[in-house]
Structure 1
Amino acid sequence: MNARLLIVSNRLPVTVRVEGGRPTVRRSVGGLTTGLRGPHERSGGLWIGWPGSLDGLDPDARSDVDRQLAELRTVPIQLSAQEVAVFYERISNGVLWPICHDRIDRLPLRVEGWDVYESVNQRFADSVAEQYRSGDLVWVHDYQLLRVPALLRERIPDARIGFFLHIPFPNPEIFFTLPTRHSLIEGVMGADLVGFQTRRYLGHFRAALRRLFSLEADAEGFVPWRGRRVRLGAFPIGVDAADFARRAATRKVSAKVLEYRPPGQRLLVGIDRLDYTKGIPRRLLAVERLLTAHPEWRERVRLIQVAVPSRDRVGAYRRIRRDVDTLVGRINGAFATPTWTPIHYMYRSVPSDVLLALYRAADVMLVTPLRDGMNLVAKEFPASRVDEGGVLVLSEFAGAAEELGEAVLVNPYDVDGTAEAIHRALTMDSAQRQQHMRALRATVLKYDVHHWTSTILDLLAAGA
């Protein structure tokens, strides 16, 4: 790819902190950042997005931040506190997120603020248009910016635009509850190439197009749209599997693995953002059911559940935290002994070496979301298992289940069934565990984040 790449996302891949009296800008880490760093740097491209709140910085500090952002070839879009409250918290996370995860019950009784969502998307499109040069490729990401492709198309009719939805696209019957359903689809269709995590979500989008606009995709995935042809496709994102394997094999991580696995005990691990889509309460109930139905596991197995704080300004997230806190306390109170506690609950993020050690120490990894676009934990776990051990228990409603069929697949709504699946995973013989893990590792190593990036950008550069 020789064209310059303009990446557009709600958040820039940076963290701004004040250290020693002056602001510092550091690159964030994560799947998307890792995958796009290479094309971003090699193409001399730009990354456009919100850097987070810079309130409280004086003019000199703001100037320093702008300089550091420019050195990283990022273009900041400043959002006011009101815009963050309405565009990001109320509409993006309060309406679009639950809708896309099948949670109509989480919607407010009345939704206001679509005008702010539109105006912020217009500002993103304006910023891209200001930076655009003839021949650039533009790649827009995720549900916060559904209107940007069409708004940018109005400003630059000949631009090559890609769009990728990282979260699920819901069943049309659920999506159609949105009063803005037409304009959101029109927004996405401003792109030349539209990508989804799975064939299921692609199918949902195609069904919405059929119902709203009487349009069908041809055998190659092209849809005629207002004088253009838009290509639709499923492109499951991966992780940097080779890097996970390299870091998981270090001495520091190996030493921690021994710490986390006391003799005579088996270890279950769950690592999630604390979000109502992740299925943590039902997972805890499944562990409780395991200890009830199979009392032989009492004092022989424990769960380490890491819940990374998320969106704690949103009421639904404060409620899920209270629910999880209550369940952990009740289950521990019912089953704990003076020398053993069944659930070790950590409400915080953990350093990367601890994360990798937990992946390697786990006898069973529990990834049981109620709905998830992909769930990269399900891919990071096998990537880290250089010992070819461990068993992945995976929700059939995670996007990763389409690729990772060798996992133990469960219906996370079926608490008893999940408990029995955990029991089967704990009792699986070593040869079977190794066979399953080898297959999982082969998949995540072959279809990694670099494969995902190059596949999409090659299609976009070639005219989709």
Structure 2
Amino acid sequence: MTRLIVVSNRVALPKQTATGGLASAMRDALRERGGLWFGWSGKIARRTAGELHRLKDGPVEYATIDLSKDHHDHFYDGYANRTLWPLLHYRPDLVDYNRGHLEGYLRVNTLFAERLVELIEPGDLVWVNDYHLIPLASMLRERGVRNRIGFFLHTPLPAAGLLIALPQHRELLETLSSYDLIGLHTARDLRALEDYFLHEAHAVMRPGHRMRADNGRIFRAGVFPIGIDTKQVAEMARQAGKQEEIQQMQISLEGRALIIGVDRLDYSKGLPERFQAYERLLERAPDLHRKVTFLQIAPPSRTTVPEYRQIRRELERSAGHINGAYAAPDWAPIRYVNSSFPHNVLSGYYRIARVGLVTPLRDGMNLVAKEYVASQDPKDPGVLVLSRFAGAAQELTQALLVNPADTEEVTDALERALKMPLKERRNRWHAMMEVLQKQDITAWRTAFLNALAA
């Protein structure tokens, strides 16, 4: 079987505990085929790529490089997360473009290419992941690599009208034509990519979602919605009730219905709007007072970026305001927690929650929505309230779909979810679970790699 090389900004090294479904999927693919995982070590050193760190674990080899602080600040904190991230999440108003950041981003991609080209063997399949490494294939091609190279974008892709707001957008985005296969989460993302290449990059459409770029290269784009390890998540949730943390949570609820949200602290997740909808629920449905608790778990991220510090302050004020207005001596309406939890604990929280509230303003897929559904008790499942603008909404159509910017619509959905009859909850859950079992994480990686190799 053809050897696989996975490339990503960060590498999930063996025995790391804080790894999610994507890391597991990549490890499984590498163990199945044998191969190499290449990327940043996560360490800041005096010099970028001064040493190649190699580690062997069975049929899988890990190769990582360090970044200097200057390169990390320009590449990761700068261009990747202050320029590309807001643009890809439909927030051009937050794009902070800096020519120096772009140069740092391209320099790190060049260093990745220089180190990676030494490791690629004839016949290897190369799978590059996410927006940090958009130009990597073109740099590998310049160095003589003729292998099949695939790229998967884990974020949304906005329409061409937004993409062209990025300074020097063609110099960056046209490098995608150096990949043989580009994978996206949804048909909406695929339309955006094709529209950009047709109308901005002068590409020509070919049958089968193939395009001939202005430079003559022919490449293909396709929809590959990422899934979860459905069976594992369901079993983890079933076993979670034995854990002390879950038992303590159930005791603390005192029979109240739990609404749960779990999101990295990010402006794309729609958290302020979510808090407003919950406050509106308490305002207009006094019969739910003391009968419901909202737990929002939001681990901090990218704390060096001002917008992230601002949203944290905003949410702290909002949570304090809600509790100040509605709390009773024995009831806190909202529990706002800035900590991360292991997957086995989260699955237990999901299982006991009557409502999963997943309302990002934009999201590539959102695996929390899928994990919530997979974690439910089949005899007494909860209800998923899901943003129409998460990629998961294209598959989980039996969720209560909402526009997160419409406070009344989200509030209506919350009230409906809390009062939904058991029969309807079961019917909706069964329909969504069928999708998750069919389109799991294994199906995703298999479909992408088969398409790349074909």
Given the alignment of the two structures, is residue 249 of structure 1 paired with residue 248 of structure 2, yes or no? no
Distance of aligned partners of 1:28 and 1:264 in 2 relative to their CA distance in 1, 3 Å threshold: closer
Q: Give, as a single letter, the amino acid of the residue that structure 2 aligns with 1:5.
A: L
Given the alignment of the two structures, is residue 37 of structure 1 paired with residue 27 of structure 2, yes or no? yes
Q: Deviation of residue 265 (structure 1)?
A: 1.1
> Partner of 1:365: helix, strand, or coil?
strand
Q: CA RMSD in A?
A: 2.0
2:352 corresponding residue in structure 1: 361
CA contact (8 A) 1:307 1:346 kept: yes
1:440 corresponding residue in structure 2: 432
CA contact (8 A) 1:137 1:461 kept: yes
- Which of 177, 181, 187 pairs up with 2:175? 187
- Which of 426, 451, 454 pairs up with 1:459? 451
C-alpha distance in structure 2 between counterparts of 1:256 and 1:429, whole Å = 28
1:407 corresponding residue in structure 2: 399
> Partner of 1:404: helix, strand, or coil?
coil
Given the alignment of the two structures, is residue 112 of structure 1 paired with residue 100 of structure 2, yes or no? yes
1:269 corresponding residue in structure 2: 260
Q: Deviation of residue 157 (structure 1)?
A: 4.5
CA contact (8 A) 1:253 1:353 kept: no
Distance of aligned partners of 1:351 and 1:38 in 2 relative to their CA distance in 1, 3 Å threshold: closer
- Extract unaligned runs of 5+ from structure 1: 16-24, 57-61
- Which of 320, 335, 354 pairs up with 2:326? 335
Q: Deviation of residue 251 (structure 1)?
A: 5.6
> Mapping of 1:8-157 within 5 angstroms?
8-14=7-13, 26=16, 28-55=18-45, 66=53, 68=55, 73-108=61-96, 112-157=100-145
Distance of aligned partners of 1:251 and 1:399 in 2 relative to their CA distance in 1, 3 Å threshold: closer
CA contact (8 A) 2:54 2:63 kept: no
- Which of 354, 362, 365 pairs up with 1:371? 362
C-alpha distance in structure 2 between counterparts of 1:251 and 1:270, whole Å = 18
C-alpha distance in structure 1 between counterparts of 2:240 and 2:184, whole Å = 38
Q: Deviation of residue 28 (structure 1)?
A: 4.6
1:7 corresponding residue in structure 2: 6
Distance of aligned partners of 1:351 and 1:300 in 2 relative to their CA distance in 1, 3 Å threshold: same
CA contact (8 A) 2:44 2:69 kept: no
1:21 corresponding residue in structure 2: none
> Partner of 2:220: helix, strand, or coil?
strand
Distance of aligned partners of 1:216 and 1:28 in 2 relative to their CA distance in 1, 3 Å threshold: farther
> Partner of 1:75: helix, strand, or coil?
strand
2:289 corresponding residue in structure 1: 298
CA contact (8 A) 1:6 1:48 kept: yes
Q: Deviation of residue 156 (structure 1)?
A: 2.8
> Partner of 2:413: helix, strand, or coil?
helix
Distance of aligned partners of 1:36 and 1:70 in 2 relative to their CA distance in 1, 3 Å threshold: closer
Greater mean alpha carbon deviation, residues 181-190 or residues 426-435? 181-190
Q: Give, as a single letter, the amino acid of the residue that structure 1 aligns with 2:193.
A: F
Normalised by the length of structure 2, the TM-score is 0.94
> Partner of 2:78: helix, strand, or coil?
helix
What do the CA deviations read for 1:23-47 (whole angstroms, capped 9, x no partner)? xx63651121111112212222000
Q: Give, as a single letter, the amino acid of the residue that structure 2 aligns with 1:31.
A: G
C-alpha distance in structure 1 between counterparts of 2:222 and 2:411, whole Å = 36
Q: Deviation of residue 158 (structure 1)?
A: 1.9
C-alpha distance in structure 2 between counterparts of 1:323 and 1:361, whole Å = 28
Q: Give, as a single letter, the amino acid of the residue that structure 2 aligns with 1:33.
A: A
1:312 corresponding residue in structure 2: 303
C-alpha distance in structure 2 between counterparts of 1:111 and 1:460, whole Å = 34
Distance of aligned partners of 1:158 and 1:251 in 2 relative to their CA distance in 1, 3 Å threshold: closer
What do the CA deviations read for 1:128-160 (whole angstroms, capped 9, x no partner)? 211010000000010000100111122234210
C-alpha distance in structure 2 between counterparts of 1:448 and 1:175, whole Å = 31
2:223 corresponding residue in structure 1: 234
Q: Give, as a single letter, the amino acid of the residue that structure 1 aligns with 2:176.
A: V
C-alpha distance in structure 2 between counterparts of 1:219 and 1:43, whole Å = 30
Given the alignment of the two structures, is residue 169 of structure 1 paired with residue 137 of structure 2, yes or no? no
What do the CA deviations read for 1:382-440 (whole angstroms, capped 9, x no partner)? 11114350000000010110111000000000111111110011111000000001111
1:59 corresponding residue in structure 2: none
Count matched residues.
446
> Partner of 1:130: helix, strand, or coil?
coil
C-alpha distance in structure 2 between counterparts of 1:109 and 1:461, whole Å = 37
CA contact (8 A) 1:147 1:183 kept: no
What do the CA deviations read for 1:89-109 (whole angstroms, capped 9, x no partner)? 010000000000011121237
Q: Give, as a single letter, the amino acid of the residue that structure 1 aligns with 2:91.
A: R
Normalised by the length of structure 1, the TM-score is 0.92
- Which of 343, 348, 362 pairs up with 1:352? 343
Identity of aligned residues (%): 40
> Partner of 1:308: helix, strand, or coil?
coil
Given the alignment of the two structures, is residue 385 of structure 1 paired with residue 376 of structure 2, yes or no? yes
Distance of aligned partners of 1:339 and 1:242 in 2 relative to their CA distance in 1, 3 Å threshold: same
C-alpha distance in structure 1 between counterparts of 2:18 and 2:346, whole Å = 16
- Extract unaligned runs of 5+ from structure 2: none
C-alpha distance in structure 2 between counterparts of 1:109 and 1:127, whole Å = 28
Q: Give, as a single letter, the amino acid of the residue that structure 2 aligns with 1:165.
A: L
